[in-house]
Amino acid sequence: MQKLAGYLKSRHIYAFSRFNMLWVCPPLVINREELKYGLDVIEEGLALVDEALGVVGAAAD
């Protein structure tokens, strides 16, 4: 979780993580492009974690 949170922070997505949970609280004034960027970064981060853990085929779901 620390690696995921670090990755998100490096991409300017500030999230709170604890144990196996991730909280993302976007600002109330956000447009579609910003939301899409944030969700894409989260997905990239999760894919990196899957790869590091050796999870195969997780992106196919």
Q: What would the pLDDT profile of 12-58 be if each residue is shown by its tens digit?
A: 998 888 898 999 888 889 999 999 999 999 999 999 999 998 887 65
Exposure string over 14-28, b if 16+ CB within 10 A, otherwise e: ebebeeeebeeeeee
pLDDT band of residue 7 (cuts 50, 70, 90) is: very high
Specify if 61 maps to a domain.
no
Per the structure, the complete domain to which residue 12 belongs is given by: 2-56
Model-level pTM?
0.78
- Quickly count: other Cβ atoms within 10 Å of residue 38's Cβ: 19
Per DSSP, the three-state class of 49 is helix
- Evaluate whether residue 28 is within a structural domain: yes
* The predicted structure's pLDDT at residue 35: 92
The answer as to whether 34 is a domain residue is yes
In the chain, the number of structural domains is 1
